[in-house]
Structure 1
Amino acid sequence: MWAQEIVAGRPAWRHTPSGVVFRAVPGGSFRMGLSDAELAAVRAIERADGADDDLEPFFAGADQARPVREVRLEPFLIARHPLTVAQVRHWLPEYEDSFAASDSSTARLGDDDLDDLLRMLPFRLPSEAEWEYAARAGTATLNFRGDDRPDEDQVLDDFADEQRNSTTENTFGLTATGSANEICADVWIPHFKDAPVDARPRTGDGPRVVRGGAGDLSPWQGCNEWLLLLSATRYEFHDFTAVRPVAPVPAGQGHAEHRSET
């Protein structure tokens, strides 16, 4: 079921029935959430852009991704990029996607298709702690590239050529993090108070947490869509979402522990 290979110059695990490529993420700990330093970095971008109040809605909702807390994770596999239309059709042969330009584009699923896929998928959704840890890939900055304003070159949608887009991968070998809105296992709660410190998802009734989404607003219209590329940006699920599944590391394939920057 699993095959080890090299994809875009890095080791990868391929789920052979579906073709989904996974990267192995080492266990470790990190500081999850929107930190004071990151808020200051956004303010610095705001001043550099010459916009005095464009980002006030972002700062008004910043507590949704606070307080920052230490989270510890075990190793896991996570898909290199969100599932494509072709990959979703492995489990849902009748799946149609009016948003997708081709079968190699990111699949964006509505409620019914999402429920059907999750019933069929032999994987699980990431907890949002796993998603942010994987997206940060050892960094403590606005996104994995640093504290500068993220560029549209990080917005990726088509994955026909697996060897492409290696320059947009983070240290863990993931690409397109923050591009499509990606659903997590957690139920939406607008802060991290009393959240588990071991990366378990918060469960219950209600909409799930979504991360990313900058690519869903492409072409950008100058409305601060880049904020959706930030590692800590989070909101509740509405309408359509992409899926980046998670799986256990195959037996006997442990990985070294990783410690994020502080």
Structure 2
Amino acid sequence: MAGLPAWQHTPSGVVFRAVPGGTFRMGLSEEELAAVRAIDRNGGTEDSLDSFFAGAGDAQPVREVRVEPFLIARHPLTVTQVRHWLPEYEDDYADADSGAAHLEDDLDDLLEALPFRLPSEAEWEYAARAGTTTLTFRGDGKPGADQLVDDFGDEQRIAAAENAFGLAGMGSSNELCADVWISGFTGAPSDARPRTGDGPRTARGGAADLYPWQGCDEWLLLLAATRYEQPEFTSVRPVAPLPRG
């Protein structure tokens, strides 16, 4: 948001925001489930939400998590920014070089070249919520396509889309997290460490990757608590430690 401090990685142009430390309730709460049911009752859904409610356990039980301060990119890496590390990178999904990059075969190469790390799931959700406890940082209303931001060439539009931490587009692109995919949070740590292991990682967001929406309630991907197994392609929003001094 205007006036919030920012740190720029000058060679690549990636802008980072500082996220303050704190504690939050991570996961899909009963209050959020009730808000989705209210949207459904009021005719705001296009299809049956049976699968959504059946899969709610993937984001439960809700628990309190402690998060240390960190820097996170203001938005996912764009095609142009990825080319700083991978000059030959081509993107079959992005409409413009200022759009969020969608990594497939180049993903491992990018992660190896980046001087930054992936966010843990806890860091991602904490950043997405930005101090709120609602479906999205905008509240418990049904989020619409007007909430999507996956092209970051328009500074005015980016600024208007930021949450209280100064972050834009969280929930728009599917963003890779450091955690290995595990269904549910039983036994998960009470701090923001990622859960590690073999297998695919966890992704968050992705509503813009399915746009134009086909009436299958793609807006659910904008919810702060929505999580799923790493898909075919993914975007990257890197994290860095706070600068010293």
* Superposition CA RMSD, Å: 1.3
Q: Secondary structure at the match of 2:28?
A: coil
Secondary structure of the 2:139 match is: coil
Equivalences for 1:151-230 in 2 at 5 Å? 151-230=144-223
**Residues 162 and 30 from structure 1, CA distance in 2 versus in 1: closer, same or farther, beyond 3 angstroms?**
same
The alpha carbon displacement at 1:126 in A equals 0.1
What per-residue deviation string (whole Å, max 9, x for no partner) do you get for residues 148-169 of structure 1? Answer: 0011111111111334322211
Q: Distance in 2 between matches of 1:52 and 1:223?
A: 6
Candidates 17, 20, 33, aligned match of 1:39: 33
* Counterpart in the other structure of 2:229: 236
Do structure 1's residue 74 and structure 2's residue 68 form an aligned pair? yes
Partner AA of 2:226 in structure 1: T
Aligned-residue identity in percent: 73
CA contact (8 A) 1:188 1:236 kept: yes
Query: How far is the alpha carbon of 1:241 from its aligned partner?
Result: 0.1
Query: In the alignment, what sits opposite 1:91?
Result: 85
Separation in 2 of the partners of 1:195 and 1:45? 30
For residues 233-260 of structure 1, give each alpha carbon's deviation from its aligned partner in whole angstroms, at most 9, with x where no partner exists.
00001210000000000002xxxxxxxx
What does 1:7-86 correspond to in 2, within 5 Å? Answer: 8-49=2-43, 54-86=48-80
User: Which amino acid in structure 2 is aligned with residue 166 of structure 1?
Assistant: A
Q: Which residue of 1 aligns with 2:117?
A: 124
Separation (CA, whole Å) in 2 of partners of 1:154 and 1:163: 14
In structure 2, relative to structure 1, the CA distance for the partners of 1:120 and 1:53 (3 Å cut) is: closer
CA deviation string 1:75-104 (max 9, x = no partner)? 000001000000000000000001111110
CA distance in 2, matches of 1:233, 1:15: 30
TM-fit CA distance, 1:9: 4.1
Task: Name the TM-score, length of structure 2 as normaliser.
Answer: 0.97
**Cα pair 2:47 2:215 within 8 Å, conserved:** no
Question: Following the alignment from structure 1 to structure 2, what is the Cα–Cα distance between the partners of residues 49 and 101?
Answer: 33
Query: Retained in 2: the 8 A contact 1:66–1:191?
Result: yes
Counterpart amino acid of residue 192 in structure 2 = A
Tell me what 2:100 maps to: 106
Give the distance between the partners of 1:113 and 1:52, measured in 2 at CA. 35
Distance change in 2, residues 1:163/1:12 (3 Å): farther
TM-score by length of 1: 0.91
Instruction: Give the counterpart of 2:108 among 88, 93, 115.
Output: 115
- CA pair 51-169 structure 1, distance change in 2 beyond 3 A: closer
CA distance 1:17–1:61, shift in 2 (3 Å): same
Q: Where do 5+ consecutive residues of structure 2 fail to align?
A: none
**1:8·1:162 contact (CA, 8 Å) conserved in 2?**
no
- Segments of 4+ moved more than 6 angstroms: none
- Kindly indicate whether the alpha-carbon contact (under 8 Å) linking 2:130 and 2:163 is maintained by their aligned counterparts in 1: yes
The runs of 5 or more residues in structure 1 that have no matched partner are 1-6, 253-262
What letter matches 1:187 in structure 2?
V
Aligned residues: 245
Which letter does structure 1 place at the counterpart of 2:24?
A: F
